[in-house]
Structure 1
């Protein structure tokens, strides 16, 4: 079975535009580049990946395009654009051109913004129109504070392909399940919204066991179904809690428990469809 990692990062702190890393654990404040993941990914049996931005600059998106040239496993990039720029249409067109088919989506770092209603600002309508018209997807990096704004955006752009990164970052370490699952029930009513099965282990607190994520995973399958869940590693953030192969095997085990026989969708087909990846899952020999 072909496996697509739909959420993975590379970064080089010496570039100077990863402001959030200053507050991150020291173990993450180093370079994570293709040669650091290649062997782990191969050992785990993951053939392909979607590279996701980690800095709020268009320069970093172009840096990811460059890295992808040296990593044949990368079949798509989710980049960043200044969505409030007056020339946002031209900026998106330029990224599409420079990516030469690699740009598959865009992601603002919404969780870091002071305004919890930012996603719903009418001034962003033009940017969302351009994302949709350009055949791109939108990654929603949000937590519960931004859910109301995300809901309003879904209503305003009902045909836009949106994926909820890291299951909307439930407050697992605080044991806050009910508010989050009520939001999952409401948000999942919008058929264009998908959800990433990613980032959950790093939301655990100490000394919580990893099986504490299971009620959250069960809720995701109950609300989104296997047809709208997309697996991602969230490497290298994942390394703070587990290794690459362990999270893959745990996620596969949970998928078999809650959606038996649907692993091919969660671990490949949904990502290929959502990001419109140029991959023939029925013909593995055509895979890079």
Structure 2
């Protein structure tokens, strides 16, 4: 019996509604990705709900994105259990934004992608001070970094020890290139921080077109061993996962990788830990 899955990393894209500056540089993803298309696939593989992850819309459209996802959730065509909203902690306007956003019940966490800004962005006292405000708001922060930036994630976790962090995409390893050593060491060091969890999400997008399960499982297993069963969540990363085979393929691969785990540990990965971390 497979446990139901709570997908903690769903992106939806509507180019007529919002502005996505990065899409022009990502041709395979540069079209609309509506909820109906995701839901049709998700239901087939046992995904019973999802958290919507911000899609790095233009700065002036951040709250418009949140409002749109709130409307989709209210329609009820597929269970959107929460929103991980876009944020700009490098901005002096962050405290006012946080005050407004914390009043929106569906917002369960926030993210500012760090791989698209200069490395020093997350090192400023303004940024770190604003991140520390998330502890009072009880909103976890998703860390999205390139593998080479994992030391930045360690620094940020240390600078805000009262904040709950979730590392996206296993730290975006270069699986296709086999860049293991530095990534593996940094993952182990990051896992020493008790305020950080890891998201097993969408790594098929980094594995090349000819990936096979044994090669993929090595990377996932290292993250799982480093963080332990109580600090892991699962994410589909749709539509980015379509670059490595798609949502159904990624679910099947994950189920195969964790087939030997205990039933309790599988249930924790697929839904239980996320329910606790984001207070769902």
> One fold, TM greater than 0.5?
yes
3-state secondary structure, aligned to 2:19: coil
Q: Which residue of 1 aligns with 2:201?
A: 198
Q: Which residue of 1 aligns with 2:79?
A: 73
Q: Which residue of 2 aligns with 1:95?
A: 101
Matched, 1:119 2:122: yes
- Equivalents in 1 of 2:177, 2:21: separation in Å? 26
C-alpha RMSD of matched pairs (Å): 1.6
Task: Give a deviation string over 1:170-196, Cα, whole Å, max 9, x none.
Answer: 011111111100001100001110011
C-alpha contact (below 8 Å) 1:95/1:103 kept by paired residues: yes
Q: Which residue of 2 aligns with 1:152?
A: 155
Q: TM-score, normalised by structure 1?
A: 0.89
C-alpha contact (below 8 Å) 2:213/2:253 kept by paired residues: no
| Aligned residue pair count | 272
- Equivalents in 2 of 1:215, 1:130: separation in Å? 36
- Equivalents in 2 of 1:131, 1:96: separation in Å? 9
3-state secondary structure, aligned to 1:13: coil
Return the offset for 1:234: 0.5
Q: Which residue of 2 aligns with 1:280?
A: none
C-alpha contact (below 8 Å) 2:73/2:80 kept by paired residues: yes
3-state secondary structure, aligned to 1:105: strand
Q: Which residue of 2 aligns with 1:11?
A: 13
Return the match for 1:105 from 109, 125, 133.
109
Unaligned 5+ segments in structure 2 are: none
Unaligned 5+ segments in structure 1 are: 278-288
Task: Give a deviation string over 1:36-82, Cα, whole Å, max 9, x none.
Answer: 12221111121111100002432223322222222441011001122
Q: TM-score, normalised by structure 2?
A: 0.91
Return the offset for 1:9: 0.9
- Equivalents in 1 of 2:208, 2:35: separation in Å? 29
3-state secondary structure, aligned to 1:14: coil
